[in-house]
Amino acid sequence: MIPCKSSFPCIGFPRHLVGVTSLLQYKIFIRMQLLMDSQQPDFHYHPKCAFHHICHLAFADDILLLCRGDRSSVQIFLEQLHVFGRTSGLNINAGKSFIYFGGVGDSLKQHILQDSCFSEGSFPFKYLKVPLSPHRLLASQFPPLLHHLEYAIQGWMGKHLSYSRRLELIRSVLFGMVQFWLSIFPLLDNVMNQTTCICRNFLWTGSTARSMSALVAWKHICLPKVEGGLDLYDIKARNNCFLAK
């Protein structure tokens, strides 16, 4: 999942469980099994996860398994997934499971795919509604954010909202969507400009289209109220703060 040099092959694959009845108990069970697997001598951690001994990430009914891209590590994971299936009666959905490689040779990759019977995935893929990639995201990979903003605004169009109500929707809803992405990725300048443009147009016109000039410059609107602004945060400054954590 995390990028690595060609000398450090890696593999990460999400699993979707079918027919979960007591999800919490099963998640605890499989986590304990995975943690025990990671103690086996033939298991090798993903090179970016070895320091913290991370072998999996779980959220709801999704689980990402992380290890170095060698057959022994993958086979240990696969064996425990089979144990989990026999114990719980829950089978892995191969149609919704993928393997993601980084720096793994074609021959070894084919062996691993044959062992697992899963398909090879490609980057970026969506997890928790955001695209994940071993490389910095391109501007072409941010449309989901912009589309979410535009879709939200379309639901408010035609309601004759006042400036104060539009401002509150920007602060509480639109900037809430933006902040989720700001806390994860370094946003490109043109993506920030498009995001600002969408919010600015909605404030002054009530839609995403620009039909009139802004009455006040956006940089002044982002100032604190004591300085004459409307107390909206500056997207670039907020992004830099999140990335400095």
d(CA 34, CA 39): 9
Query: 């990725």: which residue's tokens?
Result: 185
Q: What is the pLDDT of residues 74-89, one digit of tens each?
A: 888 888 888 777 877 7
Domains delineated in the chain:
10-132 (3.30.70), 139-243 (no CATH)
d(CA 4, CA 25): 33
d(CA 33, CA 29): 6
**Using the 8-state DSSP alphabet, how is residue 94 labeled?**
G
Q: Is the pTM value of this prediction over 0.95?
A: no
Amino acid identity, position 162: S
**pLDDT confidence of residue 215:** 84
Classify 122 in phi/psi space as left (phi over 0), alpha (psi -120 to 50) or beta: beta
Q: What is the full DSSP assignment across 46-65? A: -TTTTTTT--EEEETTEEEE
Q: What is the pLDDT of residues 193-221, one digit of tens each?
A: 999 999 999 999 988 887 677 888 999 99
Q: What is the pLDDT of residues 221-234, one digit of tens each?
A: 999 999 998 999 99
